[in-house]
Amino acid sequence: MNPLKKIVPIAIIFFGLFCLPEMVFPEGIFSTLQQRVLAIFILATLLWVSDVVPAFATSLLIIMLLILTASNSAPFPLREGLGENMLNYVTIYNSLASPVIVLFLGGGLYCPGLCQV
């Protein structure tokens, strides 16, 4: 199947959840930050299940979208709706350098070298 036929409905669902949350969620149940994070979560789930975008690219897309839409370093038009509930961008970046992630990356680089010996 053509990847474009898969990604267009996913993009429509994401932008519908992100830009028009009051049509999907009743007012007052979720804050703006929670609505944005839920829209990013649903986008990531649909991209992983459909396999339109490779998994590593999807994981980087999640971090990029969180920084651009839900953190204190978001552009001003997106930041004004968050109020005081903004995520700290340093906390989001720290997920890239977790000791467990570094351990997995080290093991991934170490194993091919051992296989050649």
pLDDT at 41: 93
Q: Where are the domains of the chain?
A: 3-88
Percent of the chain residues past pLDDT 70, beyond the cut: 98
Question: Per the confidence metrics, is the pTM higher than 0.85?
Answer: no
Residue type, 109: L
pLDDT at 45: 93
Find the mean pLDDT for residues 29-48: 89
Do 86 and 33 meet the contact criterion of CB atoms below 8 Å apart?
yes
Q: What is the pLDDT of residues 51-99, one digit of tens each?
A: 888 888 888 899 889 888 888 888 888 787 777 878 888 888 887 777 8
**Max alpha carbon distance in the chain (Å)?**
62
